[in-house]
Every structure is written in structure tokens, then in C-alpha cells.
Amino acid sequence: MLKNQYRLVKLTVLTWCFLLVMTDGALADGWKLLQSVDGKRVMLKIKGKRRSYWKLDRDNPIAVRIKGETEIKVYTRMELKEKQKEGIYSFITYIDGKQQPLIARATQYSTSAKIPWRKDHRLGQSRVIYYNVPDGEHEYRFTVQGDSENVIYFRFLVPDQKTEDVSYVAYLPCSFPEEVRITVKEREYIYYRTNISKYIEIEVIGPTKVKCVSRLEFNHTMRGNKPYRVQVAENDKVVLTDFFNAVISGTANYSTKSDKVLGKGDIFFIDVPEGRHRYRISTPDPDISVIFRFYLPEKDLGSEDSSTSTAHVMLGRF
């Protein structure tokens, strides 16, 4: 009898150990793995630990069902060939069947991420995308473009518990071509103008997440909706390209007379890894201008005597 009980206890312990190995363990920063994902699930090795990802290629789309209001944090990694050091990849998101603008990212070879079953291939560094999920039930479907041969791995996280809203503080870029004052609902804001030949530079100490607001400036030749791109580069390498479909704003106006009309604000985020980083922000599209405004989480400003503080960043004016 005691022998059978011992066997049962031993089997239970071994079962729990196996489950702990197979799961992803505790996730930091208040995020947990999203389980309601349809697709090909695989286990990648990241910094020596097994992590769940979903494989996206032309034969394997991914579908996520989720109930809002919430946020999805998506880690993406590109599969690189044996000696490939960097690459550019893109994918399409459908939200409740409606196609969204193409998302493109650039990446470099990661020394800490491995594909266990493809030792002759590499993984790129992770690139993060955030989706704000509105109230109600929704489906997010991901595909690659047409005949694309790219293989991309996705990891989906959602907030582990309801957290307080993040308080953001505006701040000035290190350098910018031109300052633009606009008024939104009777409140004045300062933005910074850029185009294909002129860029904005910001310097940030990570880890943190920079919130960026971009507005296309409509001129007299533009009619209806106008697609445009924003691009972020570090050390002359593009790390983020986002696509937006601009529409004219009904609440934003220039503070002084202008022959242009402002577009609605589009929001994107720069996920900043640990350390000091200097980014260049611009648009790669010719014959247009885009204005930007930047925000940093107030909690990440730190104190002035902290070696990892971002308090040295000059605060922007509201």
C-alpha cells in the first residue's frame, strides 16, 4: 500500500516537473501568454529557455480570438538562412476580416535565439508590435504577402491583470528640422516636421517604450485618404517601418495660417531595449511631410542621480 502511494506521489511530481518544462514559466512585467491562438505552435530556444511561438508562412496563417477591451503585445522574429546577418520582413493583419496596412520590420541576427530543429538556420532579433483591442470579441488574423518565402515566428502576450493607465510625458527630440505648433480641441501642442530628406533624432535609455504620434500634412493636391509610411532607424539600419492610411482631422488645426491641412494622429511605439539608443525618425515617402510628437512613460524618467535614468531627456512643452 505504502509502495503504491509512493509511486503515485513520484508520478505526480514528475508530471508537474514535465508541465513546468513545457510551459513558458512566469512572465515579467505583468504580461501572460495568450492561449487562444489557431496556428502551428512551435518551441524556440531563447536565452537557453524554451518559449512558445506560432509559425507564420504562406502555408500557415495565424488567427487570434480575443475579448476586449485589452492590449496584445506581439513579439515577432524572422527566420534567417545559415549565414544571413540581417533581413527585412512584412506581414498583413486582418482585424475582423478587414485588411490593415502592411507591417514591415528590419532585423539582425540574434546570438541568443535558436531554432532547435533547424541548426543551419538563424533567428532574427525580436521586434515588438502592440495592438489595442476595443470592447467586444474580435479576431486578428495574420498572413504573409502572396508568394513570400519569409518565415516569421509570433509570440502573443496579454496583460496578466488590470493595471493602471500609463502616464506619459512629452519630451523634445535631440535634433529636429522644424517646430510646428498645432491646436487640438483648443489646446496647443508642439510637433516636429520631417520629410524624406530631413529626419528627427531622439535619444532614450531603455528598457522603455516610446509612444509616437504622427500626422500627415495634406496639401492641395491630396484628395480623400492618403497612405504614408514612417520609418525608424538606428545606426543607419532601419528597425521599424509602419504604414498608415491618413484622413483629414476634424479637430486639429495649425496655430498659425497654413496652406496645408492636418491629418488625424496615428500612434505607433518604439520598443527600446536596455541601454542608450539614438533613433532617427522620418518618412521614406517622397513629396510629403509628416509631423511627430513623442512621449515617454513618466515612470521611466527615473531620478536625476540614477545611472540608468532618462531624466536627462529634455521634457517637451504641452
Instruction: Read off the pLDDT of residues 8-27 as tens digits, 9 standing for 90 and up.
Output: 433 333 333 333 333 344 34
Residue 24, pLDDT score: 44
Residue 258 has pLDDT above 50, yes or no: yes
Residue 302, pLDDT score: 58
Contact assessment for residue 151 and residue 79, using Cβ atoms and an 8 Å cutoff: yes
Q: How confident is the model at residue 162 (pLDDT cuts 50, 70, 90)?
A: low
| Cα(139)–Cα(116) distance, integer angstroms | 30
For residue range 182-208, list pLDDT tens digits in order.
Answer: 999 889 999 999 999 999 999 999 889
For residue range 75-102, list pLDDT tens digits in order.
Answer: 999 999 888 999 999 999 999 999 998 8
More confident residue, 132 or 313: 132
Q: How confident is the model at residue 164 (pLDDT cuts 50, 70, 90)?
A: low
| Cα(158)–Cα(175) distance, integer angstroms | 35
Residue 144 has pLDDT above 90, yes or no: yes
Residue 12, pLDDT score: 37
Question: What's the grid cell of residue 232?
Answer: 525608424
Q: How confident is the model at residue 165 (pLDDT cuts 50, 70, 90)?
A: low
How do beta strands 31-33 and 187-194 pair? unpaired
For residue range 116-133, list pLDDT tens digits in order.
Answer: 988 889 999 999 888 989
Q: Which residue has the cell 486578428?
A: 140
Question: What's the grid cell of residue 235?
Answer: 545606426
Q: How confident is the model at residue 167 (pLDDT cuts 50, 70, 90)?
A: confident
Residue 303, pLDDT score: 38
Average pLDDT of span 228-234: 93
For residue range 25-52, list pLDDT tens digits in order.
Answer: 434 467 889 988 999 999 999 988 899 9
| Cα(239)–Cα(243) distance, integer angstroms | 14
Residue 7, pLDDT score: 44
Closest by CA to 291, choosing from 201, 195, 148, is: 195
Residue 245 has pLDDT above 70, yes or no: yes
| Cα(244)–Cα(262) distance, integer angstroms | 14
Q: How confident is the model at residue 225 (pLDDT cuts 50, 70, 90)?
A: confident
Residue 215, pLDDT score: 97
Q: How confident is the model at residue 166 (pLDDT cuts 50, 70, 90)?
A: confident
Residue 101, pLDDT score: 87
Q: How confident is the model at residue 63 (pLDDT cuts 50, 70, 90)?
A: very high
User: What share of the chain in percent tops pLDDT 90?
Assistant: 55
Residue 163, pLDDT score: 52
Closest by CA to 140, choosing from 76, 97, 77, 101, is: 97
Residue 275, pLDDT score: 92
The domains of the chain, with CATH numbers, are 31-159 (2.60.120), 168-300 (2.60.120)
Residue 173, pLDDT score: 94
Residue 87, pLDDT score: 92
Question: What's the grid cell of residue 132?
Answer: 489595442
Give pTM, 2 decimals. 0.62
